[in-house]
Amino acid sequence: MKEIPGARPVPISQLSRAQDRLTFLYLEHCVVHRDANAITARDARGTVHIPAATLGALLLGPGTNVSQQAMVLLAESGSTAVWVGEHGVRYYAHGRTLTRSSRLLERQAELVSNRSERLRVARAMYAIRFPDEDTSGLTMQQLRGREGARVRAIYRAHAKRTGVQWERRDYDAADFDSGTPINQALSAANTSLYGVVHAVTVALGCAPGLGFVHTGHTRSFVFDIADLYKTEITIPIAFDITAREVGDIGSETRRAVRDRMKDGKFLETCVRDIKALLTAKEDDTIEYGPEAFDDPDIVMLWDNNGRNVASGVAYDEDDL
């Protein structure tokens, strides 16, 4: 049999689970290519090799040229390529990831389509953020009011801790430099967080646009999940960086978020929280890492009677 041309796919055994990967890597002004099973980034200073199978998200900033083979490797490795703007604070697009099972996606769609279940998940999200408050019985309006009050208090507390002047969250997504230093730092930190959460979301097979609290945006669910960690990660980092009065606040903030996540614990937490939110009252033992990659590519047909039937079959009326 004639061998299929092109590089061989990455062996499943070499892939890392989503929660065990590096969080994200931001690149700009370089050429991104492939060398065996590694992504390479080359500029005038030399070439860096990045193991694709251990990478969660590759953020491609201005001046990056990426080859077709590099994108193939990222796709085969279950890594996400996210195209971002200058300073990493504008999202443009993302590449596909390797997900073979739709079980978690179907569960997400089921929950978001049922009003009472959607509210239950929203309450659970708020409980993760503020575990000292009882969210049972709260309406969405009450949840939003509680959230607003708590977040404003957190901003004031960090402003007092660091001595950074704080008025309100105010920024122009189209003009990063027009914001105050603290708002620039918050934007840069949040965008880095969004990139990692987006990578985890698609790696688990979920739909980024099916949000429970946020709605109407292609990344509503990403914003939902990212909000779980802002008070712990991005807000304190942004105030710390602003207090230092650094020259390039976007780069410094992005590196600080990277350093905060590099031990891998954030990915474990993010994966665990997403699965817990979506599999409550279902099977809490579902795993979506390389175990899911091992599943065969089986496509079934919906039968409207509680079971699925095999696809690839030309059914007759006698089969109904």
CATH number of the domain residue 69 falls in: 3.100.10.20
Question: Cα–Cα distances in Å, from 130 out to 133, 134, 147?
Answer: 6, 9, 9
More confident residue, 187 or 18: 187
- HSE-CB for 49 with a 13 A CA cutoff: 6
- The dihedrals phi and psi of 254, each to the nearest 5 degrees, come to -60, -40
What pLDDT is stored for residue 293 in this prediction? 36
Whether 35 and 49 have beta carbons less than 8 Å apart is answered as: yes
Residue 301 domain flag: no
What pLDDT is stored for residue 283 in this prediction? 41
| 219-254: pLDDT as tens digits | 899 999 999 999 999 999 999 999 998 888 888 998
Domain tally, the chain: 2
According to the annotation, is 214 in a ligand binding site?
Answer: yes
| 47-56: pLDDT as tens digits | 999 887 777 7
**73 pLDDT above the threshold of 70:** yes
Q: Are residues 35 and 135 in the same domain?
A: no
Token readout for 4 is 């299929």
Q: Are residues 59 and 176 in the same domain?
A: no
- Residue that finishes a domain, picked among 42, 66, 94: 94
Q: Are residues 122 and 194 in the same domain?
A: yes
Token readout for 145 is 């009011």
Q: Note down the domain range covering 147.
A: 103-279
- β-bridge partners, 25: 58
More confident residue, 288 or 162: 162
| 166-214: pLDDT as tens digits | 988 887 767 777 788 999 999 999 988 988 888 788 778 899 999 999 9
* Percentage of the chain lying above the pLDDT 70 cut: 74
Nearest CA to 229 out of 151, 140, 135 is that of 151
Q: How far apart are CA 279 and CA 251, in angstroms?
A: 37
CATH number of the domain residue 234 falls in: 1.20.120.920
Residue 297 domain flag: no
* Percentage of the chain lying above the pLDDT 90 cut: 34
Q: Are residues 215 and 68 in the same domain?
A: no
According to the annotation, is 147 in a ligand binding site?
Answer: yes
Q: Are residues 153 and 190 in the same domain?
A: yes
pLDDT, the chain, mean: 79
Q: pLDDT band at residue 264, thresholds of 50, 70 and 90? A: low
Q: Are residues 108 and 254 in the same domain?
A: yes
Nearest CA to 203 out of 265, 288, 286 is that of 288
DSSP label at 4? P
Per the document, the length of the chain is 320
According to the annotation, is 284 in a ligand binding site?
Answer: no
Q: Are residues 148 and 248 in the same domain?
A: yes
